[in-house]
Amino acid sequence: MTDVKIAARDVQVYYGDNHAIRDVSVDIKDKTVTAFIGPSGCGKSTFLRCLNRMNDTIDICRVEGDIAIDGEDIYDKRVDPVQLRAKVGMVFQKPNPFPKSIYDNVAYGPKIHGLARNKAELDEIVERALRRGAIWDEVKDRLTEPGTGLSGGQQQRLCIARAVATEPEVLLMDEPCSALDPIATAQIEELIDELKQNYSVVIVTHSMQQAARVSQKTAFFHLGYLVEYGETGHIFTNPEDPRTESYITGRIG
Amino acid sequence: MTDVIADGAPAGRHKGSLLAQDTRTKKRNAAEARFKIYGLFAICLGLLALVWLVTSIISNGAGAFQQTFVTLDVTLAEERLDKNGNRDPDDLRKVSTFGYAPLIAEAMEAKMTETGIAVEGLSAKDAAALVSKESPAQLRNFVLANPDQIGETVTFEFLAGGRIDGYLKGRVSMESAVRDSNVSPEQLMLTDAFVEAGVVEKRFNWLFLTAPDASGQRPEAAGLGVAIIGSFYMMLVVLVLALPIGVAASIYLEEFAPKNRVTDIIEVNISNLAAVPSIVFGILGLAIFINFAGLPQSAPIVGGLVLTLMTLPTIIIATRASLKSVPPSIREAALGVGASKMQTVFHHVLPLAAPGILTGTIIGLAQALGETAPLLLIGMVAFVREFPDGPPEGLFDPASALPVQVFNWTQRSDPAFVERASGAIIVLLIFLLIMNAVAIMLRRRFERRW
Ligand SMILES: Nc1ncnc2c1ncn2[C@@H]1O[C@H](COP(=O)(O)OP(=O)(O)O)[C@@H](O)[C@H]1O
Ligand SMILES: [Mg+2]
């Protein structure tokens, strides 16, 4: 049930001369929500983007160390990042639907990965993804309308639906609620809770309450180091490292 | 309470009434008002210049679209045109335009008798000179095309000579005719009488748009046909070459190329190329396409290639700007669902950048359409009367171009060509307006999608 999905060993990330991630080793479990917390600029996003090689798109970024998903090194030369990203979906801080219809937003991933043989299958995939994104009921009558016309919270759920449409195994979320109001945030959190039945979810958040609410495991980053990693309940009630304690009690960050 | 706040406040805090402006505010407001007036003045000056330009061009050039025609009934006498009477095309072709001139003179005499118009001291030859020197050729072309009409009497509308046309347009007067060896006051009197009788008449002149250029003695027959086709061919070449090359180069530079010294140098040079005087491109074209590659002079293909070189930087700069303006979040979204870089660009970035690219391209084309200097260097200034063939072979035939035709006509001595040149400018401006309108339309259309 809770096997290791992603295993990272001694990961170093450099942006030019800036050593942004230092010696990070972590095991992320399957069908679990793992939260990355820490003061801003500590490297949460950077590390998250290593997990689907989004950092490849930044010229000056260099990643060292091993990251394996299901035991396969994702930085192996033979790995095509395009295939990897179908397996490791990502949801961004700011909702970023394509300026296309709601249907096309969700259908795009399955289309380019050839997941549907015909229109009926594609329709089915889109509906399933929108249901998983908990937005089906709100948009089922207006699938042809632009995704950019939805409210912020709806857009973010559409982006989640778009990410799950390619049938990923891991879902990375970088502060998915930071641009949303409390009600939309609550909806997304509920959704994350459901998603963990099928996926390994990794969420970056700057809200400790959110981490406490949705995650089972929490990793605390500070100045590029992974300071502490463990059961969420344990980290919040009984942190072992003084830096974690200061952050949780509001003294740093 | 208020005293306490005032005491703690920094010196200079506003103490007076809100209803009265203090000196600082007054100064600021005055400066703002002055600035607005400067701006308004600048805009008015610009508008005034524009209005002046447009009215002067239109008042000079509108006449080119109107031309004076003389209606005559010509008897195509068989004994002059076909002595053997067998309608053999080769025999018919042996009769030169000089053989046709007497027919027109006869028709003119007949017309004068018919209408009862007589002008003292006007010889039959001078009366016949009312029609353009182009007319015998017109007559000959008709007969060669319709040999069966020989022996019949056919009604023709001949172009009136340039001076007669000028008289109806107010360019030539009785006084100037006295001093003019090309026209006499008697001819003008005959014209007056013919206008009354409805034989001579000013009408809209399609020939101006369809006819080829004519020699310096026949301004009335000169048209823009070859120039329009030449310009059209060149635009075709520019569009077909510059758009794909420019867009491909921009996409590579913007999305794929590593950011290093080499790409930096390329970038700087593209910006510099956009500022290079167009005549330099003309010299380059002369050296490369004509002297080295051996392409024919005066051909639209060479003009098109030169203009392509000139337009490329404009298109690349516009395309890169519009690619840059596509938000990075769209790229991230596409990459995030596993699109390759190329899919990201072609499925998401390019459609969003398309309006900007199109606008840039059309502006580049419009620039190229009005370009004269480089075309002069590659020989497009030649006098061309033959229409080029259809594309693609026609691209290699000699042709003229609109701006070059304008330049050409302004060089000629007959004042009637001033009107022609202004008319050509009007045509050029109309084409430019249409292109800009299309640019705006396309832009709206693409942007309205969301
Ligand atoms: N694209 C980038 N280029 C250069 N440096 C970057 C880039 N993204 C992040 N960094 C640097 O890496 C460090 C970690 O940033 P980030 O991972 O965004 O932190 P967090 O998400 O925890 O706020 C910061 O010092 C930041 O300046
Ligand atoms: Mg971040």
* Structural domain contains residue B95: yes
**CB atoms B336 and A52 under 8 Å:** yes
- pLDDT interval class at B128 (50, 70, 90): confident
Average pLDDT, chain B: 86
Checking if the pLDDT of A45 tops 50, the result is yes
* Structural domain contains residue A160: no
The per-residue pLDDT for A158 is: 94
Distances in Å between the Cα of B233 and the Cα atoms of B207, B295, B398 are 20, 16, 11
- pTM (2 d.p.): 0.82
Please state whether beta strands A33-37 and A217-222 pair in parallel, antiparallel, or not at all (unpaired).
Answer: parallel
Q: Which of B311, B308, B296, B289 is nearest to B393 (CA)?
A: B296
- B378-426 per-position pLDDT tens digit: 888 778 788 888 778 778 888 889 999 999 899 888 888 888 899 999 9
Are B201 and B234 in a shared domain? no
* Structural domain contains residue B1: no
The per-residue pLDDT for B132 is: 86
By a Cβ cutoff of 8 Å, what residues of chain A touch chain B? Answer: 52, 54, 57, 59, 82-86, 89-92, 94, 96-99, 108-109, 112-113, 146, 148-149, 159, 162-163, 165-166
The per-residue pLDDT for A1 is: 45
* Structural domain contains residue B106: yes
Checking if the pLDDT of A98 tops 90, the result is yes
Mean pLDDT of B123-128: 79
Domain-terminating residue out of B177, B205, B233: B205
Cβ–Cβ < 8 Å for B310, B281: yes
Name B28's Cβ contacts closer than 8 Å, sequence gap at least 6. none
Q: What is the rounded CA–CA span in Å between residue B200 and residue A138?
A: 77
Are B299 and B362 in a shared domain? yes
- What is chain B's alpha carbon radius of gyration, rounded to the nearest angstrom? 32
Kindly give the residue spans of alpha helices, DSSP state H, lying in chain A: 44-50, 81-87, 102-112, 119-132, 136-139, 152-164, 182-195, 208-214, 232-237, 242-248
Q: What is the rounded CA–CA span in Å between residue B133 and residue B105?
A: 12
Q: What is the rounded CA–CA span in Å between residue A132 and residue A122?
A: 15
Query: What does the CA dihedral B60, B61, B67, B68 come to, rounded to 10 degrees?
Result: 0
* Structural domain contains residue B219: no
Q: Residue B118 burial (CB < 10 Å; 0-12/13-18/19+)? A: exposed
Please state whether beta strands A200-204 and A170-174 pair in parallel, antiparallel, or not at all (unpaired).
Answer: parallel
Q: Report CA B286 to chain centroid distance, whole Å.
A: 23
Atom 12 of ligand 1, nearest CA residue: A20
Cα–ligand 1 centroid distance for A63 (angstroms): 13
Q: What is the rounded CA–CA span in Å between residue A220 and residue B369?
A: 64
* Structural domain contains residue B305: yes
Is any Cβ of chain A less than 8 angstroms from the Cβ of B343? Answer: yes
* Structural domain contains residue B112: yes
Give phi and psi for A24, each to the nearest 5: -90, 125
Cα–ligand 2 centroid distance for A147 (angstroms): 24
Domain-terminating residue out of B205, B236, B263: B205
**CB atoms A82 and B330 under 8 Å:** no
- B299-320 per-position pLDDT tens digit: 889 999 999 999 999 999 999 9
Structural domains of chain B, count: 2
**CB atoms A94 and B329 under 8 Å:** yes
Are B339 and B267 in a shared domain? yes
Q: What is the rounded CA–CA span in Å between residue B88 and residue B253?
A: 66
Q: What is the rounded CA–CA span in Å between residue B132 and residue B219?
A: 9
- pLDDT interval class at B14 (50, 70, 90): low
Pocket of ligand 1 (CB under 6 A): A 15, 18, 20, 38, 40-46, 58
Structural domains of chain A, count: 1
**CB atoms B329 and A92 under 8 Å:** yes
Mean pLDDT of B42-60: 93
Q: What is the rounded CA–CA span in Å between residue B204 and residue B69?
A: 10
* Structural domain contains residue A147: no
- A66-93 per-position pLDDT tens digit: 999 998 999 999 999 888 998 999 999 9
Q: Which domain holds residue B172?
A: 65-205
CATH number at residue A42: 3.40.50.300
Cβ–Cβ < 8 Å for A105, B337: no
The per-residue pLDDT for B1 is: 43
Mean pLDDT of B153-161: 86
Q: Which domain holds residue A189?
A: 4-96+168-248
Cβ–Cβ < 8 Å for A89, A166: yes
Are B235 and B192 in a shared domain? no
Residue A81, token pair as written in the block: 């990042």
Are B284 and B398 in a shared domain? yes
* Structural domain contains residue A185: yes
* Structural domain contains residue A109: no
Q: Residue A162 burial (CB < 10 Å; 0-12/13-18/19+)? A: buried
Are B200 and B305 in a shared domain? no
Quick one: which H or E segment has residue B366?
helix B350-369
Are B290 and B320 in a shared domain? yes
Cβ–Cβ < 8 Å for B92, B448: no
* Structural domain contains residue A143: no
**Structure ipTM:** 0.90
* Structural domain contains residue B50: no
Query: What does the CA dihedral B373, B376, B378, B379 come to, rounded to 10 degrees?
Result: 170
Share of chain B above pLDDT 70, in %: 96
Are B133 and B173 in a shared domain? yes
Are B349 and B320 in a shared domain? yes
* Structural domain contains residue B39: no
The per-residue pLDDT for B257 is: 87
